[in-house]
Amino acid sequence: AQSVTQLGSHVSVSEGALVLLRCNYSSSVPPYLFWYVQYPNQGLQLLLKYTSAATLVKGINGFEAEFKKSETSFHLTKPSAHMSDAAEYFCAVSGTLVSGTYKYIFGTGTRLKVLA
Amino acid sequence: DGGITQSPKYLFRKEGQNVTLSCEQNLNHDAMYWYRQDPGQGLRLIYYSQIVNDFQKGDIAEGYSVSREKKESFPLTVTSAQKNPTAFYLCASSMQFTRGTDTQYFGPGTRLTVL
């Protein structure tokens, strides 16, 4: 069965510093992986997704993530944090529900705080 | 603009009442989903629908019911049997249910509070 672990429920960075949000997955088959962002009292918005093409995936707002099969990781990074990046971030894996169908399995989220 | 709308944004329920949360999409997506979000627990799947007039239970369906009479609409009813309904509810849709690469698009959510 597929699963997702996000290390660190809260992460704080200074404005301009590197953002690193960690996600490890467990999957018996090649996974499809997603990062979503959620601002307070809003829905989720897709940042980027990995669908077995390039291992380095670039997303919106300057974020990117690298799929590392050997480490079963899909960490999210951004070179320079901006105050507007403060939000909650969710990693998800698309896992097989029954043959031929899929469902998302979400991590528990990481709340990013950006310090001025 | 295409997207997903949810109403109301805030909903208050008294003990023993059933309430219905609305979800509408104009993306022409076949698949729709309902999630419940609680602090520190991520998103948990309540129900999903692959196509009109079909829906399946997710991981936490007890105390909830849905219908899918139109492609655009997937309302969720929180019944009095749901013991702890206070949560943030998110509706989502995707083009198909049978493609693991499909992006799920989310509505803005409904915050339900039991008084």
* Residue B101 pLDDT: 80
Nearest CA in chain A to B111: A41
Chain-chain contact of B101 with A32 (C-beta, under 8 angstroms): yes
* Residue B46 pLDDT: 96
Give the integer Cα–Cα distance in Å for A72 and B46. Answer: 28
Chain-chain contact of A49 with B104 (C-beta, under 8 angstroms): no
User: How many Cβ pairs closer than 8 A exist between chain A and B?
Assistant: 61
* Residue A16 pLDDT: 97
* Residue B39 pLDDT: 86
Q: DSSP letters of chain A?
A: --EEEEE-SEEEEETTSPEEEEEEEE-SS--EEEEEEE-TTS-EEEEEEE-SS-SEEE-GGG-EEEEETTTTEEEEEESS--GGG-EEEEEEEEEESSTT-EEEEE---EEEEEE-
Pick out chain A residues at pLDDT < 50.
none
Q: Which of residues A95 and B31 earns the better pLDDT score? A: B31
* Residue A53 pLDDT: 78
* Residue B99 pLDDT: 74
Note whether A93 contacts B: Cβ–Cβ < 8 A: no
Mutation site for A-interface testing, chosen from B38, B43, B89, B98 by largest number of A Cβ within 10 Å: B43
Nearest CA in chain A to B96: A101
* Residue A96 pLDDT: 67
Nearest CA in chain A to B40: A108
pLDDT in tens, B34-92: 999 998 888 999 999 989 999 999 999 999 999 999 999 999 999 988 889 999 999 99
Nearest CA in chain B to A4: B42
* Residue B65 pLDDT: 97
CA distance A58 to chain B (A): 15
Note whether B31 contacts A: Cβ–Cβ < 8 A: no
Chain-chain contact of A43 with B4 (C-beta, under 8 angstroms): yes
- Averaged over B94-114, what is the pLDDT? 88
* Residue A110 pLDDT: 97
* Residue A91 pLDDT: 96
Chain-chain contact of B104 with A104 (C-beta, under 8 angstroms): yes
Residues 5-44 of A with CB under 8 A from B: 9, 32, 34, 36, 41-44
Pair type for strands B31-37 and B87-94: antiparallel
